Amino acid sequence: MKLEVGDLVKIDLSLPQWSYLSERHEGHLLKNPGVIIEITEMKNVVRFGNFTAFLKDSDLIKINEE
C-alpha cells in the first residue's frame, strides 16, 4: 500500500498497540478517519479533526482506494 498526501486513512484497531482505543467512547478522534497531511522518511503526519498524529505505514489502513 502506497500512502500519499491527501489519502483518507484510519488506524488499524486490530493491532495490539491500538487495542486500548476499543475502551474509548465511539466518537474518540483516533477512531475516526484522518487525512495524511505530510509524509516524512519515518512517519506519516495524519490529521484527525483537531488532533495531529505521527504514525507508521503499518498502523494505517487506506480507506479511499481508487
What letters, b where the CB count within 10 A reaches 16 and e where it falls short, cover 25-64? eeeeebbeebebeeeeeeebbbebeeeebebeeebbebee
3 assigned to some structural domain: no
pLDDT bin (cut points 50, 70, 90) of residue 66 is low
Residue 35 lies in a domain: yes
The string of pLDDT tens digits covering residues 44-61 is 999 999 999 999 999 999
Q: Which domain holds residue 45?
A: 8-62
7-22 per-position pLDDT tens digit:
999 999 999 999 999 8
Confirm whether 1 is domain-assigned: no
Let me know if residue 20 belongs to a domain.
Answer: yes
Number of domains in the chain: 1
pLDDT of residue 54: 97
Q: Is residue 56 part of a domain?
A: yes
